[in-house]
Structure 1
Amino acid sequence: MTETGLSPEQRQALLDDPSAILMDRDLMRAIVGAHEDGVGANVIDIRGRAMTALEARLDRLEAAHENVIAAAYENQSGMNTIHRAVLSLLQPVSFDDFLDNMQADLADILRVDTLVLVMETATKEGAPELGGPLTMVPEGTVSRAIAAGRRGQQSGEVILRRATQICSGLHGAEVASEALIPIDLGPTRMPALLLMGSAEPGRFSAAHGTDLLRFFGQSFRLVLLRWLEE
């Protein structure tokens, strides 16, 4: 060992590659701290303060970078889920199979506890018939479910929210959060609604994006129209 406390090999290695120290935060913090202790309390080392500020900024950048990566991974995972769900929509060979698929494979792919197609009919009166993937309801039920007592609610938009009392009966099971995807079946048919429910309170939230669910709703609409026209 030399008077520096390093062997000649270690000293030469650091001289050849000083980044070994520069890239180590703990070592740099110790070096700056030793320097500030040496200059005394009456002297301010601007370089040390600048490095501390840069280090804090680097921490924020790294955190932002990690958040971006996590969001990108979540988006990719969500896209894969929706693609699998759309492929599942295309597999049934009859309308009964289509409805059965909703409660079996499709609900599992979407990771929801309830998945119900709500369709209005002018001949239906009173309470809806519950317990299956298809629920026929009286006229006006879809608009009331979408509004849920709120004024100015966009009728054609995908809605993510905490479970509401007005939709509790339509789910056929107890849920904590819900997604409502309005289905426009054209000017000659009454409106419909694809209703999803989850036991997790944070599964569907107004803060989440709706692009993927909007795409799924459009795909679901096209497949449903095909069955209704047959």
Structure 2
Amino acid sequence: MSDTALNIEDLRERILSDPEMILDDRDLMKALIAANEKQLGNNIVDLRGIAMERLEARLDRLEDTHRSVIAAAYENLAGTNQVHRAILRLLDAAEFEDFLLSLRTDIAEHLRVDAVKLILESPQADTGSDGLTRLSDVLLVKPQGFVAEYSAVGRNGAPQRQVTLRQVADASDEVFGEAAGWVHSEALLRLDLGPGRLPGMLVMGAEDPHQFKPNQGTDLLTFFTGVFERAMRRWLS
């Protein structure tokens, strides 16, 4: 018996003893099915082959869905960790000035945004005092009604939400100052500062136009907003 015949016989014995070796190999199964269809001829409909193709397509879809779910889970976990780190930094602040300055440093870094502005409304919007001037790159005092007006831009009368995500072609100079030229998406976090106080808003700007989009979920940012509101009320009391 030739070496080729011996190899074939050896392969046959291995397959018979362990058929899963072929059944688990998708490429081998495809080749066997294709050979079987060729042997049947053009006038024979192989229902098993059709069923196999459909099951294979369904398996591919399930695998794609599985990968997408895993990727989304990792992304959500990463986002949760970012928000938690930002909240812990807020709670660490021992003074109000440190609390505000952390917005442009640690908080911006934890949340991976390029600009953060805190807007407070006042009947007399005056930023001339020394304290406010020193914090003017993070704290903006605006006239009453500014938050509602700014949040309504581009919404065409739609109800306003606590968290609004949107892409912007031209960011507001009034909010972002010199950074307006490279801010292409923003998150607006409306703040309820308690009874008898005018509303505020935390604005996060990103250079990436896809970082904040209207169709994204806002659960984590809504949670962050709630914590930030409570911290602000404590500082303002």
> Is TM > 0.5 for Structure 1 vs Structure 2?
yes
**Which of residues 202, 209, 217 in structure 2 aligns to 1:201?**
209
What is the CA–CA distance in structure 2 between the aligned matches of 1:166 and 1:106, rounded to whole Å?
21
CA–CA distance in structure 2, aligned partners of residues 107 and 224 of structure 1:
17
Task: From 196, 199, 202, give the equivalent of 1:188.
Answer: 196
Once the two structures are TM-superposed, the CA of residue 13 in structure 1 deviates from its matched residue by: 2.7
CA distance in 2, matches of 1:66, 1:120: 46
Q: Which runs of 5+ in 2 are unaligned?
A: 128-132
Residue 149 and residue 35 in structure 1: after superposition, are their counterparts in 2 closer, same or farther (change >3 A)? Answer: closer
How many residues are paired up? 227
Q: How far 1:166 sits from its partner (Å)?
A: 7.0
Quote the Cα distance in structure 2 between the aligned partners of 1:89 and 1:17: 62
Residue number in structure 1 paired with 2:42: 41
User: Counterpart of 2:153?
Assistant: 148
Farther-moved stretch of structure 1 (193-202 vs 37-46): 37-46
Aligned to 1:86: 87
Aligned partner letter, 1:207: N
More deviation in 16-25 or 219-228?
A: 16-25
CA drift of 1:146 comes to 0.5
Alignment of 1:1-230 (within 5 A): 1=3, 3=5, 6-8=8-10, 10-124=11-125, 131-163=136-168, 165=170, 167-172=172-177, 173-174=179-180, 175-229=183-237
> Deviations 1:5-58 (Å, cap 9, x if unpaired)?
5242x3333222212111111101100111111111111111111111110110
5+ residue gaps, structure 1, are: none
Q: Which amino acid aligns with 1:75?
A: N
Structure 1 residues 46, 197: CA separation in 2 closer, same or farther (over 3 Å shift)?
same
What are the superposed Cα offsets for residues 156-178 of structure 1, whole Å, 9 maximum, x if unpaired? 42100012657442023120000
Aligned-partner residue type, residue 157 of structure 1: Q
Change (3 A) 1:4 1:209: farther
Note the alpha carbon deviations across 1:133-190, whole angstroms, 9 max, x for none. Answer: 1100011110011101533333342100012657442023120000001000122000
SS in 1 for 2:221: helix
> Is the Cα contact below 8 Å between 1:117 and 1:134 reproduced in 2?
yes
Give distance in 1, aligned partners of 2:173 and 2:164: 15
CA contact (8 A) 1:121 1:139 kept: yes
CA distance in 2: counterparts of 1:12 and 1:183, whole angstroms: 74
CA apart distance, 1:96: 0.6
User: What is the rounded CA distance, in whole Å, between the counterparts of 2:107 and 2:114 in structure 1?
Assistant: 11
TM-score by length of 2: 0.89
The 10-residue stretch of structure 1 (35-44 or 193-202) with the greater mean CA deviation from structure 2: 35-44
What percentage of aligned pairs have identical amino acids?
A: 45
Q: TM-score, normalised by structure 1?
A: 0.91
